[in-house]
């Protein structure tokens, strides 16, 4: 697919995910105006991007503004504070929030941006830091079809599986569903490997065998290996996955939907946090199950 004509783009939030996503837009030849809460990463600082001191300054200069920050209050601050995006907007601009936040709050944010004559897309992503670097993210989008069509060439520079799910809020709902599936799969892989290891089987060989059968999954492939190798540097932090499951449980309560597996996975993450593991990769959920079993994968079973 050919690259779109150069555009004036804004990118707010240059963390683990945002920085490589922004870098892919720069590589495509677009003019970037950037702002982030911390230090601008070296790769972005050394690029053609223009650094702005406020989110408002980004919105004043760019026609399409991307936001990629950790949580719902962060998005609200970026958009609506005194130096926020809203005060830099003029009619016809497009705001795209790629953070993972509350679907209900997203609907409200979209209405407030729409009142200024601008479109809004919620477009959270899945695929982690590797997907952000390699432009292979899954992007789940909520918002108007015309705004999606306008943004699609830019999404193609950051991801591969790109879907307009429905109106504003639908993208965030899809991301919440994604995080439920990922958490429950991590818990399932962790339980299976702890069980197999304590029974005396080699967990690495168990994983290898399971990858060839119906139990095979991306979680077993990637996170199962992390559990065995004890490589728990994030990745995707437990604290962030807890935030996403909190969104799921809060939304489910409002909808009158029971999510028992999600609630259990949240408690396993909480057990990790109690051990100081908020910053561990979410595959480290296995550590809470290991404590319950009084057995660590890789240990030699007692004769």
Helix (H, G, I), strand (E, B) or coil at 56: helix
The angle at the Cα of 147, spanning 249 to 5, to the nearest 5 degrees, equals 125
Q: What is the DSSP letter of 281?
A: B
Query: Tokens 């702005």 map to which residue?
Result: 52
Catalytic residue among 27, 93, 115, 175: 175
How many helices (H) and strands (E) are present in the chain, helices listed first? 13, 9
294 within 8 A of 212, measured Cβ to Cβ: no
175 has catalytic annotation:
yes
Helix-strand-coil percent breakdown of the chain, rounded to 5? 50, 15, 35
Whether the CB-CB separation of 209 and 220 falls below 8 Å is answered with no
Question: Distance between CA atoms of 154 and 254, rounded to whole angstroms?
Answer: 34
| Residue 28 tokens, joined | 């495509």
From residue 222, give the alpha-carbon distance in Å to each of 145, 167, 227: 35, 33, 9
Provide the 8-state DSSP code for 213: S
Which of these, 218, 8, 23, lies nearest to 135 by C-alpha position? 23
| Phi, psi (rounded to 5 degrees) for 85 | -60, -40
Q: Report yes or no: 172 and 101 within 8 Å, Cβ to Cβ.
A: yes
Residues near 32 by beta carbon (within 8 Å), at least 6 away in sequence: 9, 10, 11, 22, 25, 26, 44, 47, 48, 49, 50
> For 182, which DSSP code?
H
Q: List residues with catalytic annotation.
A: 175
């Amino acid at each position: 697919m050919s690259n779109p004509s150069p555009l004036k783009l804004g990118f707010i939030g240059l963390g683990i995910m945002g920085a490589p996503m922004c870098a892919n837009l720069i590589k495509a030849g677009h003019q970037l105006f950037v702002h982030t809460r911390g230090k601008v990463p070296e790769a972005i600082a050394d690029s053609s991007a223009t650094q702005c001191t406020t989110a408002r300054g980004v919105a004043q200069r760019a026609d399409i503004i991307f936001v990629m920050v950790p949580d719902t209050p962060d998005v609200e601050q970026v958009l609506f504070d005194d130096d926020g995006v809203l005060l830099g907007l003029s009619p016809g601009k497009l705001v795209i929030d790629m953070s993972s936040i509350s679907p209900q709050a997203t609907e409200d944010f979209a209405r407030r941006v729409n009142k200024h004559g601008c479109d809004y897309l919620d477009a959270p992503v899945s695929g982690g830091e590797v997907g952000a670097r390699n432009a292979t993210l899954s992007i789940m989008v909520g918002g108007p079809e015309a705004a999606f069509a306008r943004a699609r060439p830019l999404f193609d520079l950051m991801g591969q599986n790109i879907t307009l799910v429905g109106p504003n809020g639908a993208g965030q709902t899809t991301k919440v569903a994604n995080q439920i599936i990922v958490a429950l799969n991590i818990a399932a892989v962790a339980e299976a490997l702890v069980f197999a290891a304590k029974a005396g089987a080699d967990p690495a060989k168990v994983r290898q065998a399971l990858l060839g059968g119906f139990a095979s999954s991306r979680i077993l492939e990637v996170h199962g290996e992390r559990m065995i190798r004890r490589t728990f540097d994030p990745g995707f932090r437990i604290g962030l996955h807890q935030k996403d499951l909190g969104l799921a449980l809060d939304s489910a309560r409002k909808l009158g939907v029971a999510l028992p597996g999600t609630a259990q996975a949240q408690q396993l993450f909480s057990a990790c946090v109690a051990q100081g593991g908020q910053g561990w990769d979410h595959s480290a959920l296995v550590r809470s199950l290991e404590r319950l079993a009084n057995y660590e994968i890789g240990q030699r079973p007692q004769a």
